């Protein structure tokens, strides 16, 4: 009898663990994305090429609602000039519950420290990013991701920089990435 109770208890716990979806409350996510974009500025006619690498560590506090901490590395190139930036900030997403394909909408904020290639100019940038995309689940807890991102950026530039002291930009990106959901 004691063995039967232990076996049934194990079976019940095992079935409850397997019943969890990857988007349920208490799930941890580890993932990231890469993207490439052409960036335009409000007051400059030339476009800048932007490469972005963006790892994230997230958590589902309630079903389908994800909150994450994001670290971002950006590399900018305009002709022979280049710069790079490191940023950090929060991200929130809401996932819609379909079977293997899970669409999402998201919003994020990033604060960047930027450095030009010569190390002479340092400045800061703030970004508000809206995103929409899909996670395609290859396994129950591993997904490939594609997203469309639209950002509003505000630059706080040093005086004498080739752009004005404050400038704004908009950025459209297509990003690809992976997500691992740990229950």
Higher-confidence residue of 119 and 72: namely 72
| Nearest alpha carbon to residue 172 among 133, 109, 129 | 129
Q: What does the pLDDT read at residue 42?
A: 64
Mean residue pLDDT across the chain: 84
What is the domain range of residue 53? 2-182
How many domains, in total, are found in the chain? 1
Q: What does the pLDDT read at residue 163?
A: 55
Strands 166-182 and 122-137, bridge-based pairing: unpaired
CATH number, residue 173 = 2.40.160.20
Q: What does the pLDDT read at residue 117?
A: 74
């Amino acid at each position: 009898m004691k063995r039967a109770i232990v076996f049934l208890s194990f079976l019940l716990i095992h079935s409850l663990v397997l019943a969890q979806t990857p988007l349920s409350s208490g799930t941890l996510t580890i993932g990231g994305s890469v993207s490439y974009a052409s960036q335009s500025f409000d007051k400059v006619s030339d476009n800048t090429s932007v490469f972005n690498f963006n790892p994230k560590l997230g958590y589902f506090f309630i079903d389908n609602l994800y909150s994450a901490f994001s670290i971002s590395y950006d590399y900018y190139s305009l002709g022979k000039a280049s710069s790079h930036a490191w940023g950090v900030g929060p991200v929130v997403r809401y996932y819609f519950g379909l079977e293997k394909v899970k669409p999402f909408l998201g919003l994020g904020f990033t604060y960047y420290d930027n450095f030009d290639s010569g190390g002479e100019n340092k400045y800061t940038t703030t970004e508000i990013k809206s995103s929409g995309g899909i996670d395609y689940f290859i396994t129950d807890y591993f997904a490939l991701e594609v997203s469309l991102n639209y950002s509003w950026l505000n630059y706080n530039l040093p005086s004498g920089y080739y752009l004005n002291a404050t400038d704004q930009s908009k950025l459209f990106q297509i990003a690809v990435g992976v997500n691992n959901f740990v229950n």
